[in-house]
Amino acid sequence: MRAALTLPTDLAKADGTVERHWLTRFVGQVPDKVGKALEPFGYFATITSTQLENQRKNQWLLKVKVLRGEPVRVTSLRVVVTGAGAEEKRLQRLVAEFPLREGDILRQDHYERAKGELKASALDLGYLQADFPRHVIRVDRGRRSAEIELELATGPRLRFGKTLIHGAPDFPEWFLLQHLAYAEGDFFSHDKLGQTQFNFLDSDRFRDVLLTPLEELTDEEMVPVSVQLTPRTRHRLRPGVGFGTDTGARLSLRYRDNNAFHRAHLLDADLLLAERRQSLVASYVMPNRGHLESRTEFSVGYQAEDVETYESSSLFAEARQVWGLGQGYLGSVYLRLLQEDYRIADEDRRSRLTIPGLRLSRRQYSDPIRPRRGSSFALEARGAHRWLASDISLLQFLVSGNVLLELPGRWTLFARTEGGTTLQDEPLADVPTSLRFFAGGDQSVRGYAYQSLGPQDANGDVIGGKHLGVASLELERAFLTNWGASAFYDAGNAFNNLSDIDWAQGAGLGVRYYTPVGPIKVDLARQIGEPNPSWRLHVSVGFAW
């Protein structure tokens, strides 16, 4: 209605005034405009009167009075699906849930929306030739009645034919085909095309992906698909800058060859320079046949950390085999060689370990940048033994999980938990800091410094523990376009015995700003249950190019 009464912009002069004869002509058109505006809502007998009043010089007030009259109601409704897809449950459900019933006011917007959903569902199910041979609304204005006939003829259900991939001749064909979310002979689905496009883009090897069903080449109900790829630059150098309360200011630099030896292998070299953490890591990743997520990884590197509780530096080499298990699950086994020098509680130690391990994980979120729902978990077992050329023997189990729930009113509830346990007979002093458990920090218990919580020695120095338990709840309210405000509660600690658990607690408020490369987070947390509780600011921000 408001749009119907809006004066066309081309009637106004540059100074905003309107010629009287043009205004009079517009006023004469108002009844017809109002009638047409209300017809989609079921009102076909509107009576509209207008009155134009001169308020002052060159200022006019248009008064419009509208009598809607009695609405037109649906007296006959026939919605059917014919053809090969007549028995599809998804289509039959849409027919059963058609938003108009006999006796309802004729809402053409509801009709068009339901009609569009019906055809879209048929297309998504693979009925690419679906159409409406009959789609009629007969309106009897005198009787204020409407008869609706809607027939969707699905045609045959088509299947995926051959896939023709263009634009990436330097990548092995088998590797490119693994990105397809469908196999030749599967029923055609636009959802699977969308997943295929996501698979290519998510690999970070392709800048643009265009998938086109070649319907004109359909043969024996098989539709070939064209995939046009635009690869990213093979050799890339990506600098980054950021700040985190846990790490301090940081600079990063990554070199990547995304098609080493033209075999779709990845070669990465990552440099991190932060106030409290430094690392240089090189990795080589070979994709495996059979599943997009399956791969063999080799990595070597140096890592150093200097935090309030300890100092450490380590050299490592690792081999890892990862299997994609379907539905977002990943399983992996690894073997890690580690030499770690560390200083904690004024003691200097060195440890050499051979650490085999296995891991099962799953991660599913609605959006990689700003998800509204989803979950993730990881289970891991790792150990070392003197028989495997290690200085100590131990066995560890680790678990972590996150759940993000979407609530009404732009609210989300985020819950996370993390735990670990160690089985060992060795003295704790012989265990390197990377295998001890600590708590506190941006991703642990806020309100406390990074890795500052855990069992203490006789001098009151935190030395870490054999076990870990941390949990958190965070309620966030989105506002504006890219902002969010949150309230949170964290609890947890590292410990050696259940009887010695001292749960550290922190709570506070936070602000988030979401960018295309990740969120900027600022949290203000206060300790709970401490004799002299203090406030602590937690900040996390980072950008890469």
Task: List the 159-166 sheet strands across, edge first.
Answer: 159-166, 222-231, 206-213
- Tens of pLDDT, residue by residue over 278-314, are 999 999 999 999 899 999 999 999 999 999 899 999 9
φ, ψ dihedrals at 499, nearest 5°: -70, -15
β-bridge pairing 235-244 and 248-260: antiparallel
Residue 500 · residue 455 · CB < 8 Å: yes
Residue 123 has pLDDT above 50, yes or no: yes
Residue 214 · residue 224 · CB < 8 Å: yes
Residue 272 · residue 279 · CB < 8 Å: yes
Q: Are residues 32 and 105 in the same domain?
A: no
Binned at pLDDT 50, 70 and 90, residue 9 comes out as low
Residue 307 sits in a domain whose CATH number is 2.40.160.50
Distance of alpha carbon 156 from alpha carbon 122, whole angstroms:
11
Q: Are residues 103 and 208 in the same domain?
A: no
Binned at pLDDT 50, 70 and 90, residue 1 comes out as low
Task: Answer yes or no: is 528 within a domain.
Answer: yes
The confidence score (pLDDT) of residue 47 equals: 86
> How does the average pLDDT of the chain come out, rounded?
91
Residue 7 has pLDDT above 70, yes or no: no
DSSP class of residue 158 equals P
Q: Are residues 426 and 367 in the same domain?
A: yes
Structural domain boundaries enclosing 18? 9-67
Task: Answer yes or no: is 2 within a domain.
Answer: no
Residue 26 · residue 7 · CB < 8 Å: yes
Burial pattern 397-407, b for ≥16 Cβ within 10 A else e, equals ebebbbebeee
- Tens of pLDDT, residue by residue over 407-431, are 999 999 999 999 999 999 888 889 9
Q: Are residues 51 and 83 in the same domain?
A: no
Q: Among positive and negative, which fits the CA dihedral 148, 43, 35, 1?
A: negative
Distance of alpha carbon 360 from alpha carbon 413, whole angstroms:
25
Q: Are residues 254 and 316 in the same domain?
A: yes
Is the pLDDT higher at 403 or at 67? Answer: 403
Task: Answer yes or no: is 3 within a domain.
Answer: no
- Tens of pLDDT, residue by residue over 444-488, are 999 999 999 999 998 889 999 999 999 999 999 999 989 999 999
Is the pLDDT higher at 281 or at 46? Answer: 281
Structure tokens at 179: 């990105």
Q: Are residues 383 and 506 in the same domain?
A: yes
Interval 331-349 mean pLDDT: 95
Distance of alpha carbon 366 from alpha carbon 374, whole angstroms:
6
Residue 491 · residue 504 · CB < 8 Å: yes
Binned at pLDDT 50, 70 and 90, residue 46 comes out as confident
Of 185, 209, 231, the residue that ends a domain is 231
Q: Are residues 123 and 172 in the same domain?
A: no
Residue 133 sits in a domain whose CATH number is 3.10.20.310
Q: What percent of the chain has pLDDT over 70?
A: 94
Q: Are residues 253 and 338 in the same domain?
A: yes
Distance of alpha carbon 379 from alpha carbon 18, whole angstroms:
73
Task: Answer yes or no: is 1 within a domain.
Answer: no
Place of tokens 């004469």: 28
C-alpha to C-alpha distances, 263 to 110, 169, 173, 286, nearest whole angstrom: 53, 11, 10, 8
Q: Among positive and negative, which fits the CA dihedral 389, 392, 397, 402?
A: negative
Structure tokens at 223: 């539709």
The confidence score (pLDDT) of residue 44 equals: 87
Q: Are residues 291 and 357 in the same domain?
A: yes
> Three-state SS for 363?
strand
Residue 353 has pLDDT above 80, yes or no: yes
Length of the chain: 545
φ, ψ dihedrals at 456, nearest 5°: -115, 155
- Tens of pLDDT, residue by residue over 90-104, are 999 999 999 999 999
The confidence score (pLDDT) of residue 545 equals: 47
Q: Are residues 385 and 285 in the same domain?
A: yes
Residue 258 · residue 265 · CB < 8 Å: no
Residue 16 has pLDDT above 60, yes or no: no
The confidence score (pLDDT) of residue 491 equals: 98
Residue 538 has pLDDT above 90, yes or no: yes
Q: Are residues 256 and 284 in the same domain?
A: yes
Distance of alpha carbon 518 from alpha carbon 63, whole angstroms:
52
The confidence score (pLDDT) of residue 25 equals: 76
CB atoms within 10 A of CB 134: 12
pTM score: 0.81
Residue 373 has pLDDT above 90, yes or no: yes
Task: Answer yes or no: is 293 within a domain.
Answer: yes
- Tens of pLDDT, residue by residue over 379-399, are 999 999 999 999 999 999 999
Task: Answer yes or no: is 227 within a domain.
Answer: yes
Binned at pLDDT 50, 70 and 90, residue 53 comes out as confident
Task: Answer yes or no: is 4 within a domain.
Answer: no
Distance of alpha carbon 125 from alpha carbon 114, whole angstroms:
17
Is the pLDDT higher at 370 or at 257? Answer: 257
Interval 183-202 mean pLDDT: 93
Of 207, 231, 255, the residue that ends a domain is 231
Please count the structural domains in the chain: 4
Residue 537 has pLDDT above 50, yes or no: yes
Is the pLDDT higher at 490 or at 368? Answer: 490
Chain centroid to CA 452: how far? 32
Task: Answer yes or no: is 81 within a domain.
Answer: yes
Residue 159 has pLDDT above 90, yes or no: yes
Residue 38 · residue 18 · CB < 8 Å: no
CB atoms within 10 A of CB 540: 19
Of 202, 231, 260, the residue that ends a domain is 231
Q: Are residues 408 and 297 in the same domain?
A: yes
